[in-house]
Structure 1
Amino acid sequence: VGTEIDWEKGYLVVMQHPVTTEYKQSKNDVTTTLEAIQELNIPTFWFWPNVDAGSDGTSSGIRTFRELKKPTNIRFFKNMEPNDFLRLLKNSQCLIGNSSVGIRECSYLGVPVV
């Protein structure tokens, strides 16, 4: 969902999951990240959160932001084929978020993580 991304000039990948011990803050946390990504105005592939405690708040924050702000630099995904996802990561400028992908896959692929 979202606008088409011009990925050829570089892009970011975002995977932000709720912090299970701070699940009540998940909507505010994701909104802060969304605002920062929109301000950067770098094409971004944003993946939906996992289903841990707080995912309702994170998902609600994404939907609310998407519908109200209509960001032109973000495309949202729920899932992707594994090989396509690895290619997407490998060719990104960096991963932003708190997913274990940042430790496992990105460290192996040499992709920076914020």
Structure 2
Amino acid sequence: MSAPRLTDIRLHQQSRILELVFDGGAHFRLPCEYLRVFSPSAEVRGHGHGQEVLQTGKESVNITAIEPVGNYGVKLVFSDGHDTGIYDWNYLYELGENQARNWQAYLDRLSESGYQRQEPD
């Protein structure tokens, strides 16, 4: 099976949603907070298994810019200044496919850490 190819990307800044459409018909609406806390950057993922850094306080983060990276991905610039990590098409597709499971795991980690998630502004 070939890798998914992004065919359309739209940022809805007011609702803080990034809408993605892939060839084959897959369509995802990913919140900016979700994309920020699952950034593929070393700052978030660390440099190896078990070095992930729990991201907190990202409830109201937005995307301020989307920069293409070759024909395989984008760099997302967030309103909190985070701008590292390349979201390739495969990673964006995986984030869409696994959104519910990933989000619940993130909420569980927040709870375990004692962090009280605030409702976005």
Q: Which has the greater radius of gyration?
A: 2
Q: Which has the higher contact order (CA 8 A, sep 6+)?
A: 1
Structure-1-length-normalised TM-score: 0.26
Larger fraction in helix:
1
Larger fraction in strand:
2
Structure-2-length-normalised TM-score: 0.25
